[in-house]
Amino acid sequence: MNDDDFKLDIEDEEVYNLKDFEPDGTDYQQNKLSNSLDLIYSLISEEIKTHEKNCIVGIYLKTQETIILKPKGNFFRDFGYSKTLNGNIYVFLNKLESLYLLQRGNLIIYLGNEKFNHYLDGYINNFNVNELYSLNLQHFYSFLCSSDLKKYQVFAYLKRLGYLIKEYDGLKNHPPPIFQIGVQDKSMYQDIFTKGFRDKHYFGYKEIFERLRVIPSAQNFESLQKNYESDFEIHFNVWKPRNNFSKKNLPVPDFMICMVDEFPKINDVYSLLNKVIKPEKKSDTKPKSNKVQTRNNLKKDKEKTERDKERERERERDFKLKNNGRNVILAKVDNGVNFISLSEMDFESVSLY
Amino acid sequence: MVKRFKKSFIAPIPITISTQIYGLLPNIYPHNPISWIHFFVKYLWIYFKPIPQRSISNLSVVFEDNLFKVLNKQHQERLWDYGFFGKGTLSRSELNWYSSTQKRLHLGDDNFELSNEEITKFRREERVKFKKERTKEQELELKKRKNEISESELQELDEIKKTLIKFRKNNKLKIKQERQVPIEYKDMRPEDQEIIDEESMTLQEIEYLQLSAVETFYLKLIDVIDVFEADQLTLEDVFYKCCGTKTPKPDNQFILSYIAYHHYRSLGWCVRNGIKFGCDYILYKKGPPFSHAEHGILIITEANPKSWTEMQTVSRVIGSVRKNLVLNFIDVPTPNELNEILNDSDDQKFFRLLQLYKVNEILYKRWIPNRTRD
């Protein structure tokens, strides 16, 4: 194939909508469409090949894990865990990780046997991998049960987008934050209905609203005080693509994902949130511009009226409202994968008056 | 070109507070003792003045045909200006049927204030015009591609392209109002004739402000309205009227709606019905004339769980109008707890009733992994 074939046929810099490809009966459009179709078909029909150098050999063990004898490549930044057996360091992959690499063509998997176990235990010194039975993709798929398959769909989708993923393993190394009860005593405003708001001078609507605020509402992190019974579990920790990622010293995950079937009830939501580690606060302040302080600029800053400041305060408040609580992501597999993010909110903490 | 008259924000609830009448208290600067004295003088001065809310009589609401109606014009205005309560029965929200009908029939002076409905109507018309031009352009483009286009059509295409650019750039509202001759009584539509007096040519007001059940109970609770059926109704009467039964269950639809309503009202939000967007309420910071609503509230209870389809549907609609979808999971007391309180005879029982419930707020959002990668 020529290099030119891969270039998309963009003649002008117009942006196309779906409706622009409505058949208009011209040969011009027909040719364009069939050309790009041919290109896609030829790409798909290409045999996927991996260079011998990049190919990894793994052996599938009875423990449902794949042992990698010589790990190499970028995948092992987040894939698997390493363990030392008889002085050799090996990497073990779980089923999802193995399948992902197998499907990409980076991994050849053999089915382990007794002799290989003896080799791992150190009874035999030499072992030839070619003696083992090699597993093809179809065969490996049959090892997955239906829930695994859904998990794999989510895993592979996020992996293809470049995210770093590990299976959730509890709140290791990250103790849950401690919840402090805010002022919630509302009994002092008991006289509200007998006197109405004609009893005294009010100097602002704040006073009135504070008296009306009688309905209890959940505060952020309040659910930590209770244990919720629920079948919902968190399945994956997900990190945005980053350079300084280390398996030994895992950073706080950016997203935590739970695979769901039913829409959760409030108990389930709180039970999930209690298992979540909250990422450190993002700095929401913009970097200060290095504007030269001329007399003109200073004047302009002064002209930055009260209204602008008020707007800035409002923006900050809105940000706080949406981002101060914990957050969990639900993944619902239904032909494709749908993601829903649920975060706790506390309107009372950022009241308008 | 018409400039639209913009209202200024007055107050979030129909209660007049002292600072509205007697002016704001001066600021205190800790290092400046004169500001302290100034503050206390003003404070004392207000303290010995009469309380303004005391001199304002309650607004009257009539309970008729199972609806809460406000018929007095001044009361309607006060309820709208102070917190945006109620809805005009013949208008989109604010009462403006009367003025728009007058304008349509050219009865009074041509006033230049445009109602929201008129602006929307005008925008839609502009949009239709734009789309017409665009289809014409597309047709000509097609002809051009097929090489069937003539010289004159090429010129037309160029012109259409120019007007389309003008349309896209222009987002200012320009409405020309034409002064027309008043329509004769005999030329009017029969339904118009019915509500117009032939001799004085005056229009009869048939629109009124309708309060929803939650609004009525809230206003009655803070004691700014009186509700009349045959006699004046007490707070308790209004409560049972709203519930629709004398023996409400803890998950009564009205009580649950009211919990969410009172919760956001007491935090200073302007709460309006969210039926337009498929949710229970929408929250405005100040009110509909000032900004778009920011949050959509959907109430969910144990007894009434939602399916994925329902959730995704609401979320799509709310997302497309750039609002946040906030789920309100409401904790409900047992029937015994509720009945115990309802059997009390004092006036404060509704306060204790509100305390039995608890609001849990969860923000529901679609996560698109493609967009959060960095």
Alpha-helical (H) ranges within B87-234 are 97-105, 116-145, 151-169, 190-194, 213-221
Q: With contacts defined as CB-CB under 8 Å, which chain A residues touch B372?
A: 240, 254-255
Q: How far, in Å, CA of A85 to CA of B220, rounded?
A: 77
Q: Please identify, among B197, B229, B264, the residue that sits at the C-terminal boundary of a domain.
A: B197
Alpha-helical (H) ranges within chain B are 18-22, 33-47, 73-81, 97-105, 116-145, 151-169, 190-194, 213-221, 235-243, 253-265, 308-320, 335-342, 349-356
- Among all residues of chain B, which has the CA nearest to that of A350? B267
Cβ-based neighbour number of residue B103 at 10 Å: 20
Tell whether the model's pLDDT for residue B330 goes beyond 90: yes
Structure-block tokens of residue B342: 């309802």
Q: What is the CATH number of domain A52-144?
A: 3.40.1170.20
Q: Answer yes or no: do B185 and B257 share one domain.
A: no
For residue B272, tell me if it sits in a domain: yes
For residue B271, tell me if it sits in a domain: yes
pLDDT of residue B269: 95
- In a 13 Å sphere around the CA of A340, the CA atoms on its Cβ side amount to 26
Cβ-based neighbour number of residue B61 at 10 Å: 28
Cβ-based neighbour number of residue B197 at 10 Å: 11
A353 and chain B in contact, CB less than 8 A: yes
The percentage of chain B sitting over the pLDDT mark of 90, rounded to a whole number, equals 48
For residue B356, tell me if it sits in a domain: yes
Q: How far, in Å, CA of B264 to CA of A352, rounded?
A: 10
- Tell me: the pLDDT tens digits for B8-34? 788 999 999 988 888 888 888 888 888
Nearest to B367 among A157, A200, A340 (CB): A340
Residues 6+ apart with CB under 8 A from B294: A318, B283, B284, B285, B323, B324
Place of tokens 């803890």: B250
Q: Which of A4-18, B82-96, B144-158 has the lowest mean pLDDT?
A: A4-18
pLDDT of residue A7: 45
For residue B25, tell me if it sits in a domain: no
Q: Which of A186-200, A283-297, B191-205, B341-355 has the lowest mean pLDDT?
A: A283-297
Q: With contacts defined as CB-CB under 8 Å, which chain A residues touch B355?
A: 186, 214-216
Residue pair B115/B2 in contact by the 8 Å Cβ criterion: no
Residue pair A60/A109 in contact by the 8 Å Cβ criterion: yes
Q: With contacts defined as CB-CB under 8 Å, which chain B residues touch A340?
A: 311, 315, 364-367
Residue pair A220/A346 in contact by the 8 Å Cβ criterion: yes
For residue B47, tell me if it sits in a domain: no
Structure-block tokens of residue A257: 């994902």
Q: How far, in Å, CA of B190 to CA of A326, rounded?
A: 62
Characterize the bridge pairing of strands A236-239 and A164-167.
antiparallel
What is the pLDDT averaged over residues B348-360?
A: 90
Q: Answer yes or no: do B274 and B366 share one domain.
A: yes
The percentage of chain B sitting over the pLDDT mark of 70, rounded to a whole number, equals 93
pLDDT of residue A238: 94
pLDDT of residue A287: 46
Q: Å from A189 to nearest chain B CA? A: 9
Q: How confident is the model at residue B6 (pLDDT cuts 50, 70, 90)?
A: low
Q: How far, in Å, CA of B370 to CA of B76, rounded?
A: 50
| Residue B210: closest CA among B66, B67, B75 | B67
Q: How far, in Å, CA of A272 to CA of A264, rounded?
A: 10
For residue B94, tell me if it sits in a domain: no
What is the pLDDT averaged over residues B61-79?
A: 93
Q: How far, in Å, CA of B157 to CA of B138, rounded?
A: 9
pLDDT of residue B5: 46
Nearest to A201 among B18, B235, B370 (CB): B18
For domain A146-179+226-281+304-353, give the fold: Trna Endonuclease; Chain: A, domain 1 (3.40.1350)
SS (H, E, C) A22-57: CCCCCHHHHHHHHHHHHHHHHHHHCCCCCCHHHCEE
Question: Hey, which residues 27-66 in chain A have their CB within 8 Å of chain B?
Answer: 28-29
Residue A66, helix vs strand vs coil? strand
Q: Å from A271 to nearest chain B CA? A: 13
The number of residues in chain B equals 374
Contact A202 B15 (CB under 8 A): yes
Q: How far, in Å, CA of A150 to CA of A337, rounded?
A: 9
Tell whether the model's pLDDT for residue B146 goes beyond 50: yes
Q: Please state the domain extents for chain A.
A: 10-44, 52-144, 146-179+226-281+304-353, 185-218
DSSP B254: H
Beta bridge partners of A260: A332
CATH number at residue B310: 3.40.1350.10
For residue B8, tell me if it sits in a domain: no
Q: Considering B162, B292, B358, B365, which one is annotated as catalytic? A: B292
Contact A161 B370 (CB under 8 A): yes
- Among all residues of chain A, which has the CA nearest to that of B12? A205
What phi and psi values does residue A194 have, to the nearest 5 degrees? -75, -35
Per-residue pLDDT of chain A (353 residues; tens, 9 = 90+): 444 444 444 444 556 666 666 777 788 888 888 998 999 999 888 887 778 777 899 999 988 899 998 888 888 888 988 888 888 889 999 999 999 999 888 899 999 888 888 888 888 888 888 888 999 899 999 988 878 899 999 999 999 999 999 999 877 767 666 776 665 555 545 555 555 788 888 888 988 898 888 899 998 888 888 889 999 999 999 999 988 888 888 888 999 999 999 899 999 999 999 998 887 765 544 444 555 556 666 666 666 777 888 888 888 988 989 988 899 999 999 888 999 999 999 999 887 88
Q: How far, in Å, CA of A298 to CA of A308, rounded?
A: 16
Q: With contacts defined as CB-CB under 8 Å, which chain B residues touch A212?
A: 222, 262, 265-266
Tell whether the model's pLDDT for residue B284 goes beyond 90: yes
Q: How far, in Å, CA of A147 to CA of A335, rounded?
A: 14
Q: How far, in Å, CA of A127 to CA of A133, rounded?
A: 14
For residue B293, tell me if it sits in a domain: yes
Structure-block tokens of residue B358: 């608890």
In this predicted model, which residue has the larger pLDDT, B183 or A13? B183
Beta bridge partners of B226: B60
Tell whether the model's pLDDT for residue B171 goes beyond 70: no
Give the residue numbers spanning the domain of B146.
Answer: 106-197
Structure-block tokens of residue B310: 């329902």
pLDDT of residue B104: 81
| Residue A234: closest CA among A159, A153, A149, A328 | A328
Q: Please identify, among B155, B180, B197, the residue that sits at the C-terminal boundary of a domain.
A: B197
Question: Domains in chain B: how many in total?
Answer: 2
Contact B362 A342 (CB under 8 A): yes
Q: How far, in Å, CA of B287 to CA of B302, rounded?
A: 32
| Residue A322: closest CA among B18, B15, B294 | B294
Residue A291, helix vs strand vs coil? coil
Beta bridge partners of A236: A167, A257
Beta bridge partners of B331: B358
Q: Answer yes or no: do B186 and B254 share one domain.
A: no
For testing contact with chain B, the best of A155, A193, A267 (most B CBs within 10 A)? A193
What phi and psi values does residue A327 have, to the nearest 5 degrees? -145, 140
| Residue A284: closest CA among A310, A316, A318, A312 | A316
pLDDT of residue A2: 43
Structure-block tokens of residue A71: 């790990």
Q: How far, in Å, CA of B190 to CA of A115, rounded?
A: 99
pLDDT of residue B26: 86
Residue B320: alpha-carbon gap to chain centroid? 19
Which amino acid, residue A3?
D
Q: How far, in Å, CA of B190 to CA of B206, rounded?
A: 16
Question: Hey, which residues 172-211 in chain A have their CB within 8 Å of chain B?
Answer: 186, 190-194, 196-205, 208-209
Q: How far, in Å, CA of A350 to CA of B36, rounded?
A: 29
Q: Answer yes or no: do B176 and B270 share one domain.
A: no
A16 and chain B in contact, CB less than 8 A: no
Contact A255 B15 (CB under 8 A): no
Q: Answer yes or no: do B266 and B154 share one domain.
A: no
Question: What is the side-by-side order of every strand in the sheet holding A107-111?
Answer: A81-85, A88-93, A66-68, A56-60, A107-111, A133-135
Question: What is the side-by-side order of every strand in the sheet holding A336-345?
Answer: A164-167, A236-239, A255-260, A327-334, A336-345, B358-366, B324-331, B295-300, B281-284, B270-273
Tell whether the model's pLDDT for residue B176 goes beyond 80: no
Q: How far, in Å, CA of B364 to CA of B324, rounded?
A: 8
Residue B269, helix vs strand vs coil? coil
From residue A5, alpha-carbon distances to A1, A9, A39, A42, A165 in Å are 7, 9, 7, 10, 35
Q: How far, in Å, CA of A223 to CA of A261, rounded?
A: 23
- Among all residues of chain B, which has the CA nearest to that of A326? B362
